[in-house]
Amino acid sequence: MSLVSLGLGYLPLIDAAPLIIAEELGFAAEEGLALDLTRMANWSQARDMLAMGAIAAAQMLVPMPVAQRMGLGPASPDFDLLMVLSQGGQAIAVSAALAARLRDVGHGFGFDDPAAARDALAGVTEGPLVIGVPFPFSTQAELVRRFVAGTDLVARLTIRTVPPPQMAAALASGEVDAFCVGEPWASHAVETAAGALLVAGRAIWQAAPEKGLVVTHRFAETRPEETARLIRAVWRACRWLDVPENRATAAEILARPAYLNLTPELCERGLLGRLHISAAGDIRPCPGFIRFHEGAANFPWRSLAALLAQGIAAAQGLDPVAAMAAAKAAFRTDLYRAALRPVGADLPAASARIEGALAAPTPARAEDGTMILGPDAFFDGATFDPDFQLR
């Protein structure tokens, strides 16, 4: 059987693993697909190449199709998010100078206590605080806003866009005071002694959705069979990646020159949840630092789209109700369900939920029986009910 070739864009991050593994381990070939993987320099390039039809699908920050459906950014065809590729995998890092100040006041860099980290940071900084994120409409920007909420850091904060591979250099040069980025680029800043890791993204939001598999709405509607095959191939790769024994192999594959072009050891840190938080080699175990599949991690909850839209609307001064309605249409729970029912995947009975309500793995109704949903709590105890917000 001849394989159908699909061009896919990705950025060199460990959460590109589902696309890379789908091709390298044959999950795509099992679905009759050959994935032509193209490494992108930044998220704007991924967005623009998808809009122009130069690629069929892209790894994309989950909030990007939300913002695009809200009319933010350049005019382009509507984007559809087919599935979430990963949760977590990010860290907030501070410059070496800030890290020294934090140690001087006794901060222990526990990596798992956002409130303590935030309060310590507020206590050692004066004046403006510039924090880098990879894109204005990103999970990282959402995490930063939640991290500083309720403190005087809000009034002093400037969020600046920096491509992930350039985060360490921006920190070292003083362009930013801190950043929030996905692995391995947070660890790269530690490796180059540019800074220290302050807190894990999963400590701020246990189910922070990091990347999604995105196509144009036209592609999804006019090429439904290939869309379904792509979902299944990547879903199988995500499932393989959440087997702990497979993570070291994944790191070896991702480290290759064609992909991340880094040492396997650097790629392993985030995948194995053993983060070096300083150049001195201090290690913090972080179980579940990144999740690719377990706990319904791949499901494109429409409530999640609404939550992200509300945050973007607040930051941009837009009508939140219209923003949430537009964003929910971009998360294609219908296509996800149709593609994965034939392979017996666990599928939630509902397409929306109260976000932030689960502090631990919890049984929930599925289309066929029950399933386990992963924890999704926010560190400050906040919840988001999309039905209430839209009433």
Read off the DSSP letter of residue 183: T
State the pLDDT at residue 209.
97
Distance CA 316, CA 308 (A): 12
Taking only the tens place, the pLDDT of each residue in 351-369 is 999 999 999 999 999 999 9
Mean pLDDT value across residues 190-196 = 96
| Cβ-contact 121, 156 below 8 angstroms | no
Distance CA 201, CA 180 (A): 8
Common-topology check for domains 4-88+208-259+292-347 and 90-207: yes
Please report which residue ranges of 160-295 form alpha helices under DSSP H. 167-173, 185-191, 201-204, 217-222, 224-241, 247-254, 264-272
DSSP lists the bridge partners of residue 6 as 35
Taking only the tens place, the pLDDT of each residue in 305-351 is 999 999 999 999 999 999 999 999 999 999 999 999 999 999 999 99
User: CATH says 4-88+208-259+292-347 is which class?
Assistant: alpha beta
User: CATH says 90-207 is which class?
Assistant: alpha beta
pLDDT above 90 coverage of the chain, percent: 97
State the pLDDT at residue 391.
42
Contacts of 123 (CB under 8 A, 6+ apart): 105
Domain assignments of the chain as residue spans, ordered by start: 4-88+208-259+292-347, 90-207
Q: Please determine, for residue 386, whether its predicted confidence score (pLDDT) is greater than 90.
A: no
Taking only the tens place, the pLDDT of each residue in 105-149 is 999 999 999 999 999 999 999 899 999 999 999 999 999 999 999
Handedness of CA 107, 145, 377, 241 (dihedral sign): negative
Mean pLDDT value across residues 150-179 = 96
CB atoms within 10 A of CB 112: 14
At 374, which amino acid appears?
A: G
Classify residue 155 by burial, with Cβ atoms within 10 Å: 0-12, 13-18, 19+. Answer: exposed
In the structure encoding, which two tokens stand for residue 151, read together? 């403190």
Distance CA 60, CA 80 (A): 11
Distance CA 45, CA 41 (A): 7
Q: Look up the pTM and report it.
A: 0.96
Taking only the tens place, the pLDDT of each residue in 36-77 is 999 999 999 999 999 999 999 999 999 999 999 999 999 999
Beta strands in the chain (DSSP E): 4-10, 33-39, 57-61, 79-88, 90-95, 129-133, 157-161, 178-182, 195-200, 209-216, 274-276, 283-285, 290-291, 362-366, 369-373
Instruction: Tell me the average pLDDT of the chain.
Output: 96
11-41 as b/e: b if 16+ CB within 10 A: bbbbbbbbbbbbbbbebbeebebebebeebe
In the structure encoding, which two tokens stand for residue 222, read together? 């006019």
Look at 178 and 281; give whichever has higher pLDDT.
Answer: 178
